[in-house]
Amino acid sequence: MAAMVAKRSSAVAVRSLCRMYVLSSASPASSRLFRPGQALCAYSTTKHPFQGGNGTTEGGNGTSSPTGHLTMSSSSKQLSTADIKKIPDAEVRKSVFISQSNDVFTNLALEDWIYRNFDLTHHHILMLWINKPSVVIGRHQNPFSETNVSALARNGIELARRNSGGGAVYHDLGNLNCTFFMPRARYDRKYNLTLLTRALYREYGINAELSARDDIVLLGKKISGTAAKLGQPNAYHHCTLLVNSNKLHLGASLEKDNVEITSKATASIPSPIKNLVDVNRTVNIQQLLSAIGYEFLRTPATQLTDGGRELLMKQRGFQLINPTDKWFPGITELRENFASWDWRFGKTPNFSVQKTIQLKSTTAAHQQEMKVKVDVEKALIKEISLILPNHEPIPVVSDMVGRTYSEDCFHGIAEALKGASTENMQQAMGL
């Protein structure tokens, strides 16, 4: 890390030579990023970038995607882990994709499309994306254990479920998301996270570190959470990076309902957090996005060494990505799946919710405490019951059974049951 001090000024010079300019976004071909005067970094406007005259791109016989990169072929799927590991870094090119969407479901769909379709054997991708306010939970999580879903809806904050594991995170326009795509055989989480810490140090002199749980921490507080999707042949690793996120909204959005939930779903581990602007006020999203992109492009595929300008100029560079069906056929359907109720809530592992209530009584001496319990299956209310001390649970007949569960719905049930008197309840139960 100390050796990077002397290189910080040269890094600025390299970026000044390769300053990004955005052309009109009227079409995929005309919305790519160009570096003026650097032919190796520029994208052709007449054919897909780095695509040969025979309609294929370098490194294989697959079909070219709308972005000009190879999609998976049967031959690439059959490569063994050993074969992929034998491919030298010099034969692997890199691209930085910058999503033009701030919609969480669209960006999750874009991640999934690249993961499913791209041939990454000779091509690694870093996708950088920013979402409007949203809470994103892991694939195996219970949203009602991680946040107050009813409150999110009232505040206009989206609730999304991603395809990877891990815990719940809050996104807004002050948070940068980074997704690293590579073959499963080259998956290396520490490589990716270390690359981010190098970019922070090279650009701002910020000395962030990796925790034992593979989070990025700064002065003992978390600035990045991380998760991964490991498949065959591809994998991706994504993480958040807090720049100037609204910490009040973050805390409120991840505040759970005050009830007792029993669930086998993966639970998040709360951690104190910090924004990068808390330690360096000059940090901003666009400059950081550029710095991370350049760090990715100047670093070899598997080695954390600095290839500098020479390696940078061999890469495929930056590309603005328009996540539409014109660019990525079928992405609209993927987005609809991610935004669907069945995916966001129907995938919730079965759970139960309990809360203590106090029934009304004609005499203070006979006031009775009991618990109302709601069992939930696939986010639908399966059973409502009352639990008295030293008694078996007593089923409650209600037309709420079969309806969608929510915090507001549960509290409505509890309030209705509180309206019954102790004497009437005991009489109905034969006590």
pLDDT band at 11 (very low <50, low <70, confident <90, very high): very low
The bridge status of strand 369-377 relative to strand 260-263 is unpaired
Query: 176-230 pLDDT, tens per residue?
Result: 999 999 999 999 999 999 999 999 999 999 999 999 888 999 999 999 999 999 9
> pTM for the full model?
0.84
pLDDT exceeds cutoff 90 at 234: yes
pLDDT at 43: 33
pLDDT at 168: 96
Of the listed ranges 49-58, 122-131, 207-216, 360-369, the one predicted with least confidence: 49-58
Distance CA 109, CA 287 (A): 26
Please give the average per-residue pLDDT across 255-283, as a whole number: 95
Decide if 143 contacts 157 (C-beta within 8 A): no
pLDDT at 418: 78
pLDDT exceeds cutoff 50 at 321: yes
Distance CA 94, CA 126 (A): 8
Beta-strand ranges (E) seen in 2-86 are 21-22, 33-34
Query: 60-86 pLDDT, tens per residue?
Result: 445 666 676 777 765 566 688 899 999
Of the listed ranges 40-54, 95-109, 206-220, 283-297, the one predicted with least confidence: 40-54
What is the residue-averaged pLDDT of the chain? 84
pLDDT band at 379 (very low <50, low <70, confident <90, very high): very high
pLDDT at 173: 98
Nearest partner of 240 among 192, 166, 178, 287, judged by Cα: 178
Distance CA 135, CA 159 (A): 5
pLDDT band at 26 (very low <50, low <70, confident <90, very high): very low
DSSP state of 213: T
pLDDT at 424: 55
Angle at 144 between CA 254 and CA 344, to 5 degrees: 100
Q: 240 or 25, which is more confident?
A: 240
Q: What percent of the chain has pLDDT over 90?
A: 69
Calculate the alpha carbon distances from 403 to 158, 227, 260, 312, 337 in Å. Answer: 21, 33, 20, 56, 21
pLDDT band at 370 (very low <50, low <70, confident <90, very high): confident
pLDDT exceeds cutoff 50 at 366: yes
Pair of tokens at residue 229: 């999707």
Distance CA 233, CA 314 (A): 25
Q: Which long-range contacts (CB under 8 A, 24 or more apart) does 368-375 make?
A: 368/422, 368/425, 368/426, 372/396, 372/413, 372/414, 372/417, 374/405, 374/410, 374/413, 375/350, 375/351
Beta bridge partners of 161: 137
